[in-house]
Structure 1
Amino acid sequence: MAVMAELLRNSVSVITTSNGFACQGRFYGRPTTSDSANCYRKYGCCLFHGSSITLNRRRWEIKTRRMSLLHGFTRKKNLIVVSNMIASIEEPELVYEDEEENELIEKRKDGDDDLDTLGRSLPPWGNIVVEQESDFELKSGSQPLAASKKLKMVMDGGIRVHFLEERNEEILSRRILMLSRSNKVRSALELHESMKFSGLRPSVHACNSLLSCLLRNELLDDALKVFVFMRRNEITSGHSYSLVLKAIANAQGFDSVLNMFVEYGGYSRAKNDFDVIVYNTMISICGRVNNWIEAEKLWRSMKENGHIGTQVTYSLLVCIFVRCNQHELALDAYYEMIHNGLKPGDDIMQAVIGLCTKEEKWDLALNLFQCMLDGRSQPNQICCNALINSLGKAGKVKLAFKVYDTMKSLGHMPDTYTWNALLGALYKANQYADALRLFESLKKYQNSQLNVQLYNTAFMSCQKLGLWEKALQLLWQMEASGLLVSTSSFNLVISACEVARKPKVALQVYEHMVHQKCTPDTFTYLSLIRGCVWGSLWAEVDDILEKVAPDASLYNAVIQGMCLRGKFKSANKLYLRMRKIDIKPDGKTRALMLQNFQKDST
């Protein structure tokens, strides 16, 4: 009786329930190796020492709040092995079997689809290293147990792996999708790792959402691990590659992303997962660094692989080629877009209009502008200004002012570029008086928009008309307005005085120029010399040559002027001086000196 009482006092009953099946066994005292083997053969389960179970006279049940099951799994602490499965018991709690057994089984059967419940009911597994061996030891205290595999768990505080009671891949993928969209990075990544460890495969949509979540939170290394898993299991899509390529470009630069693209077979004709979105991503990345060569190569490769470009594709190509001054390629991309039946967007139309104006194809630019208006699109102000400038350079003044009127009807306010284009159009069409009238109206109503370029256009009109007084008046107004008068502006005023045969006034402007600490250049001295020659101011000419460093163009201009004014002896002396200081005369100077030498001989 005493022995029987001792056995009853040390006995314990264990019930392990999971996924709808239960196993119950009774052990007396501390189990030995033979006891464990017998128990395993009879009941299919074993309880090892160290499971934190309190023994009592009554019959107790172990209620495990967190249980993880895995085939062939081994853990040194708190383990229950159940027919090639192991249940990890954490936070054990003793309850009366007759009162709560039914409740426990019902909870295990029903499960819980809620993600938070999943996180509370399942324990962390940590990082797991699987080692394939012929046999392994499973220890309880110091007792070994033979089996067919050896698995090792390493708890390092990293990503946890959970036992998944739910085995439906679609439901689990939807949970990953929800967690990723909610920006719950760790939960989504743990659920993905749990599916991967359990042999389940998430959907492409779920993996892409997880990739986006990880990259959004700047977890590039984890995202690359997920991407490697996707490629290994052939569940990648074009969106997957686009996400990773953009992330690599932002983190490591253009060269790294290009190497990755080539490594994945981007330029080869072999079958790959690349679609037109991937090519658009790479073309966009090329556009960031203005690498039009690779952009063109991607465009050709995309067509060779049977992909048809989208509106985004051609928009990127046209903008990149225009920005890199590859106008022919930009037009090719535009024409191919039209050929494929795609409607160009406003950005493409405006970019093509801009390149047409640079190529002086004003007729094509005007047709595209009219097409935008017919399609109820609204060209921007830059497009209108470029077209006005192109028409002005072509001498199409009336068309330029029509586009100007259209621009105002679209609600765009003319700016400095607009006025400069219109003044340039009038000057190009030899309508110098109209250009001056437009400038006067601008000075009256748009004085704040006047700049150096507009004043220079007015100076050029004065020069053509010989209006030296008007040029001087505009020069004083320009200085009074606070604008910095450049050397080119002074040169234009001096040239206007030269045309009007006012060399003394030109010299006064030159002196004022020097006083304002504006450095004269070769064009300044040439204009002064020509004016002084025609005014027979030879002393001033000699003074200019003495002050200025030896310059072949100045000496040639003086010698030619002397010859034309009949000053052959002075021209001959200056020519000898010119040769003495080793300045080479031009052909016209040599011809004039040869003619004068023949005249002197006769």
Structure 2
Amino acid sequence: MECVNAKGQHCLFLYTSLTSRELNFVNLNSQKHVNRDLKVSLGFKLQCHSRTLSMPSQRLSTNGKKKSYGGILPSILRSLKSSNDIGSILSSSCQNLSPKEQTVILKEQSQWERVIQVFQWFKSQKDYAPNVIHYNIVLRTLGRAQKWDELRLCWNEMAENGVVPTNNTYGVLIDVYGKVGLVKEALLWIKHMRVRGIFPDEVTMNTVVRVLKDAGEFDSADKFYKDWCRGLVELNDFDLNSGVEDFGVNSAIEPITLKHFLLTELFRIGTRIPNRKVSPEVDNCVRKPRLTSTYNTLIDLYGKAGRLKDAANVFAEMLTTGISMDTITFNTMIYTCGSHGHLAEAETLLLKMEERGLSPDTKTYNIFLSLYANDGNIDGALKCYRRIREVGLFPDVVTHRALLHVLSERNMVEDVENVIAEMEKSHILLDEHSLPRVIKMYINKGLLDRAKILLEKYGLDTELSPRISAAIIDAYAEKGLWFEAESIFLRKRDLAGKKMDVMEYNVMIKAYGKGELYEKAFLLFKSMKNRGTWPDECTYNSLIQMFSGGDLVDEARSLLTEMQGMEFKPTCQTFSAVIASYARLGLMSDAVEVYDMMVHAEVEPNEILYGVLINGFAEIGQAEEALKYFRLMEKSGIAENQIVLTSLIKAFSKVGSLEDARRMYNRMKNMEEDADTIASNSMINLYADLGMVSEAKQIFEDLRERGCADGVSFATMIYLYKNMGMLDEAIEVAEEMKESGLLRDATSFHKVIECYAINGQLRECGELLHEMVMRKLLPDNGTFNVLFTVLNKGGIPVEAVSQLESAYHEGKTYARQAIIAAVFSAVGLHACALELCDTFLKAEVQLDSFAYNVAINAYGAAERIDKALNIFMKMQDQNLKPDLVTYINLVGCYGKAGMIEGVKQIYSQLKYGEIERNKSLFYAIINVFRSANRYDLVQMVTQEMKFSLDSEVYSESELDNLSDEDSLGF
């Protein structure tokens, strides 16, 4: 039965009547158990009553042992393996070898050079007859070694000797070209053999299908197979004439490459070989494959193409036609089911595989290990790993690589180390491809020492490939560990005679960039050429983007020019980075120059680049220029987006162009997504500047209803209401902003504190200021100006406020902390004030008078008079003379302690001119005497103040009123 899931994918259900055996290497979850009573199939059952299939199927050898030979061959092979004197060995032992024995010797040579030498010796013998099998072996060896010139010479010699290529010959050539990615060249061999009248046999057909499958050309592979079954070989769907036309080079279409040249030579030589006559029945008969390997290729093809029903049909066809199945068949089908989410069916196939007498091999368990890992079942993956040894098999490099990848990816340190320990116990070295993953795991867990030990053990003393070395350096770079990355890079670079690959330089440059070590990155770039490694496009793109991000725009621009001079083409992202850097610096004329360079280089701008330009002009208020690039963007076919429209709204807002801003805002509102917060805030700000309360409020309410209002939205509305004199509304918005948790930066705190200060809610100002301190948000200049207002409204003498303002503007040490402490004290947050005072009093720096004055006042206000007086004495110990503010604070302290004599002493100094006469000090003394009900002293001080101060400073009526109050006992 076939079903289709929600995504339209075919789901595969394989029926089997399971025995009582369980998969003993996996504990399946209950939801993944296969229902033993469920009978669902695609029209076939895995059991087959065919007499052919009931017999044990042939199995591939999994023990890795080579085939044993009899006679003199083992001795000859041992001698050839242990000696380089091939001619002497062959001359002494190989005079009378049969062609079959010669074939064995050729096939057993592991290096292409030795194959050529052995083959040359055979041909030098007078009784040697040219043999197509021998040429096939040599052609395969040379092709796998990618020795194309030697292959051409071999083919040439084959033609000269009159050796006619067979289906096997063409299959070999198709295979070697396909495996190195030369798919078009591989297919040209099919064209060549058809011209010569040779129809592909099943092995050759299977090779072509496999080559196309591995290249991802699934539909083409399927078509070639189905055409072959109908007796056809159609190549019309393939563009095989772009480089070679009728086996000759068509130079007008594309330039001649080495591969094309060699292939052309091959075809020209091949056409000199006599053609075979084609039987009229060849192209008309219907064929069905009979080889297990063909069916295995087809299952893999359809599985990789996602055509699960077709894969299942091929599997069913094997059952119904009596094609024997091997381990590869089941492995392929298991992988096909499991990789498409049908893990239960894959498990069923494993049981059926064993029932049919086929033992799972290491690859089988490797497949399940990966499937369980991808499914998140790490325990299942580990059990697969252990099961390999339990059944007498051995984990291979794929096993360890897959398992370590899974465990490292999940940062399972203990399990990774256990696997490595088992490998070492079996004398298996860690695969270099696994090394970067394990190193990355240690880095992620902060275990840098273990990473270093592992590197020293497995990596640094061996010759790591550039790709692996780069991956390790990159693992450190991603975490900003440039020093560790640098040590690995330098150690490898300084190895005697070792040339570093460009990708290794690129990741080291990236590491420096992550650490903002731009000078180091540039010096490394400059040293590359001297060490024989030339930068590539990636090098330039990375450096330019790095310098642009750090606003080192001159260096970035210089590299951009150099890159183009090297005939590299910068990416759009690279140009955007430079333009964005200029835009951030407000250098829009330079940004336009780089844009023009980009257009001249025929690099297509994208929406990001246009957005950068439009926003750059918006920031400096050049709305017309912003609109110009918006129109260019539209002309290029790029759809407008919220970011670009927001920038335009910002531009029009800066120049006060209300109608243009409204037009863009309405366009944004008509998009699928509603207007974004930034654009709405720009409109609110524009309305606020124009005093348009109702319009601003409408947008603000819309944002609030959608849950999109942010701190800027609230702050702008507070600003609007405050400026319009709508203080109640401003306070209401401020309260809501506070309750919504939108006070996140110094600017938003400033707006609310200012609002409370204007309304006289000083305690709330202090509480918000304390919250800023706790969040480690430093008040900005505007906020400090508001704090001075709070101090004035909080009853702090004007002289004390003026002293703090001077200290702040002069940037004196601890001026900011002293101001904040003074505010806390003024609004009654005494504990906060004293905590802050302790901070600067304990500092090992010389404090100015203003700091001591704030501390004396804070401790006095908190009624800790002894501490206040101790601070006064400490101030004198530091050779700081008390100033006017100090005396005012001391009067307050004496008054709270009932120390009237102390106040009298200060009054005496004031009266006789030892202290500068000052209105605030007189009032401080008068207030203490009044609080002590000493109205006689109040009247005395009042009279002294009246006669000692100028009438310009204190009006007669003010002094008379004060005297009247005191005489009445107020």
Deviation for aligned residue 1:316: 1.6
User: Structure 1 residues 253 and 588, CA, compared in 2 at 3 Å: closer, same or farther?
Assistant: closer
The answer to whether residue 657 in structure 2 is matched with residue 502 in structure 1 is: yes
Give the aligned partner of residue 540 of structure 1.
695
User: Structure 1 residues 428 and 181, CA, compared in 2 at 3 Å: closer, same or farther?
Assistant: farther
Give the aligned partner of residue 394 of structure 1.
550
Asked whether the 8 Å contact 1:302–1:308 carries over to 2, the reply is yes
User: Structure 1 residues 340 and 543, CA, compared in 2 at 3 Å: closer, same or farther?
Assistant: same
One-letter identity of the residue aligned with 1:316: I
Asked whether the 8 Å contact 1:552–1:583 carries over to 2, the reply is no
- The separation in 2 between residues aligned to 1:428 and 1:552, in whole angstroms, is 24
User: Structure 1 residues 326 and 337, CA, compared in 2 at 3 Å: closer, same or farther?
Assistant: farther
Deviations 1:498-553 (A, max 9, x none): 22222342222101211233422221221111111111222211221232325362
Give the aligned partner of residue 714 of structure 2.
555
User: Structure 1 residues 294 and 439, CA, compared in 2 at 3 Å: closer, same or farther?
Assistant: closer
Deviation for aligned residue 1:177: 8.2
The answer to whether residue 399 in structure 2 is matched with residue 248 in structure 1 is: yes
User: Structure 1 residues 596 and 447, CA, compared in 2 at 3 Å: closer, same or farther?
Assistant: farther
Deviation for aligned residue 1:462: 0.5
Asked whether the 8 Å contact 2:439–2:472 carries over to 1, the reply is yes
One-letter identity of the residue aligned with 2:691: S
One-letter identity of the residue aligned with 1:594: Y
Deviation for aligned residue 1:412: 0.6
Asked whether the 8 Å contact 2:401–2:434 carries over to 1, the reply is no
- The separation in 2 between residues aligned to 1:255 and 1:530, in whole angstroms, is 53
The answer to whether residue 628 in structure 2 is matched with residue 468 in structure 1 is: no
One-letter identity of the residue aligned with 2:586: N
What is the SS of the residue equivalent to 1:449?
A: coil
Q: Write out aligned runs for 1:311-322 (5 A).
A: 311-312=463-464, 316-322=468-474
User: Structure 1 residues 249 and 536, CA, compared in 2 at 3 Å: closer, same or farther?
Assistant: same
Give the aligned partner of residue 366 of structure 1.
522
Give the aligned partner of residue 176 of structure 2.
none
User: Structure 1 residues 473 and 428, CA, compared in 2 at 3 Å: closer, same or farther?
Assistant: closer
The answer to whether residue 617 in structure 2 is matched with residue 456 in structure 1 is: no
Asked whether the 8 Å contact 1:397–1:425 carries over to 2, the reply is yes
Asked whether the 8 Å contact 1:400–1:425 carries over to 2, the reply is no
The answer to whether residue 507 in structure 2 is matched with residue 351 in structure 1 is: yes
More helix by share: 2
**Structure 1-normalised TM-score?**
0.53
What is the SS of the residue equivalent to 1:377?
A: coil
Q: Which runs of 5+ in 2 are unaligned?
A: 1-64, 83-100, 112-178, 180-292, 294-326, 332-358, 363-393, 408-414, 744-748, 762-792, 795-970
Asked whether the 8 Å contact 2:571–2:603 carries over to 1, the reply is no
- The separation in 1 between residues aligned to 2:545 and 2:67, in whole angstroms, is 66
One-letter identity of the residue aligned with 1:512: R
- The separation in 2 between residues aligned to 1:360 and 1:303, in whole angstroms, is 28
Asked whether the 8 Å contact 1:578–1:584 carries over to 2, the reply is no
- The separation in 1 between residues aligned to 2:741 and 2:361, in whole angstroms, is 72
More strand by share: 1
User: Structure 1 residues 301 and 178, CA, compared in 2 at 3 Å: closer, same or farther?
Assistant: farther
Give the aligned partner of residue 13 of structure 1.
none
Question: Out of 262, 269, 290, which is 2:421 matched to?
Answer: 262
Give the aligned partner of residue 436 of structure 1.
592
What is the SS of the residue equivalent to 1:284?
A: coil
Asked whether the 8 Å contact 1:467–1:496 carries over to 2, the reply is yes
Q: How many aligned residue pairs are there? A: 382
Deviations 1:243-300 (A, max 9, x none): 974343478774699666422426xxxxx866xxx44xx2313447985439985762
Deviation for aligned residue 1:364: 1.3
What is the SS of the residue equivalent to 1:344?
A: coil
What is the SS of the residue equivalent to 2:424?
A: coil
- The separation in 2 between residues aligned to 1:404 and 1:308, in whole angstroms, is 35
One-letter identity of the residue aligned with 1:246: V
Give the aligned partner of residue 678 of structure 2.
523
Give the aligned partner of residue 283 of structure 1.
432
- The separation in 2 between residues aligned to 1:583 and 1:428, in whole angstroms, is 32
Q: Write out aligned runs for 1:87-486 (5 A).
A: 170-171=78-79, 179-181=107-109, 245-249=396-400, 254=405, 261-265=420-424, 278-279=429-430, 282-287=431-436, 291-293=440-442, 300-301=453-454, 303-304=456-457, 309-312=461-464, 316-323=468-475, 325-328=478-481, 329-341=484-496, 342-440=498-596, 442=598, 445=600, 449-486=604-641
Give the aligned partner of residue 590 of structure 1.
752
Asked whether the 8 Å contact 1:284–1:316 carries over to 2, the reply is yes
Deviation for aligned residue 1:484: 2.7
- The separation in 2 between residues aligned to 1:260 and 1:585, in whole angstroms, is 50
Asked whether the 8 Å contact 1:392–1:428 carries over to 2, the reply is no
- The separation in 1 between residues aligned to 2:502 and 2:67, in whole angstroms, is 51
One-letter identity of the residue aligned with 1:484: A
Give the aligned partner of residue 300 of structure 2.
none
- The separation in 2 between residues aligned to 1:588 and 1:487, in whole angstroms, is 29
One-letter identity of the residue aligned with 2:471: C
- The separation in 1 between residues aligned to 2:735 and 2:403, in whole angstroms, is 63
- The separation in 2 between residues aligned to 1:446 and 1:344, in whole angstroms, is 31
One-letter identity of the residue aligned with 2:694: A
Asked whether the 8 Å contact 2:617–2:625 carries over to 1, the reply is yes
One-letter identity of the residue aligned with 2:615: M
What is the SS of the residue equivalent to 1:283?
A: coil
What is the SS of the residue equivalent to 2:510?
A: helix
Deviation for aligned residue 1:355: 2.2
- The separation in 2 between residues aligned to 1:160 and 1:309, in whole angstroms, is 37
- The separation in 2 between residues aligned to 1:464 and 1:162, in whole angstroms, is 83
Asked whether the 8 Å contact 1:393–1:428 carries over to 2, the reply is no
- The separation in 2 between residues aligned to 1:410 and 1:465, in whole angstroms, is 35
- The separation in 2 between residues aligned to 1:416 and 1:369, in whole angstroms, is 22
- The separation in 1 between residues aligned to 2:404 and 2:647, in whole angstroms, is 50
Deviation for aligned residue 1:322: 0.8
User: Structure 1 residues 459 and 251, CA, compared in 2 at 3 Å: closer, same or farther?
Assistant: closer
One-letter identity of the residue aligned with 1:588: H
Asked whether the 8 Å contact 1:317–1:330 carries over to 2, the reply is no
What is the SS of the residue equivalent to 1:520?
A: coil
- The separation in 1 between residues aligned to 2:625 and 2:454, in whole angstroms, is 62
Deviation for aligned residue 1:423: 0.9
CA-based RMSD of the aligned residues comes to: 4.5
Deviation for aligned residue 1:429: 4.0
User: Structure 1 residues 494 and 589, CA, compared in 2 at 3 Å: closer, same or farther?
Assistant: same
One-letter identity of the residue aligned with 1:528: M
Q: Write out aligned runs for 1:21-36 (5 A).
A: none
Deviations 1:203-259 (A, max 9, x none): xxxxxxxxxxxxx999999998xxxxxxxxxxxxxxxxxx97434347877469966
Asked whether the 8 Å contact 2:544–2:556 carries over to 1, the reply is yes
Deviation for aligned residue 1:375: 3.6
Deviation for aligned residue 1:440: 4.9
Q: Write out aligned runs for 1:2-41 (5 A).
A: none
- The separation in 2 between residues aligned to 1:370 and 1:522, in whole angstroms, is 45
User: Structure 1 residues 450 and 263, CA, compared in 2 at 3 Å: closer, same or farther?
Assistant: same
Asked whether the 8 Å contact 2:509–2:524 carries over to 1, the reply is yes
Deviation for aligned residue 1:388: 1.0
What percent of counterpart residues are identical? 14
Asked whether the 8 Å contact 2:586–2:620 carries over to 1, the reply is no
One-letter identity of the residue aligned with 2:78: E
- The separation in 2 between residues aligned to 1:397 and 1:418, in whole angstroms, is 12
- The separation in 2 between residues aligned to 1:385 and 1:526, in whole angstroms, is 36
What is the SS of the residue equivalent to 1:594?
A: helix
- The separation in 1 between residues aligned to 2:690 and 2:423, in whole angstroms, is 78
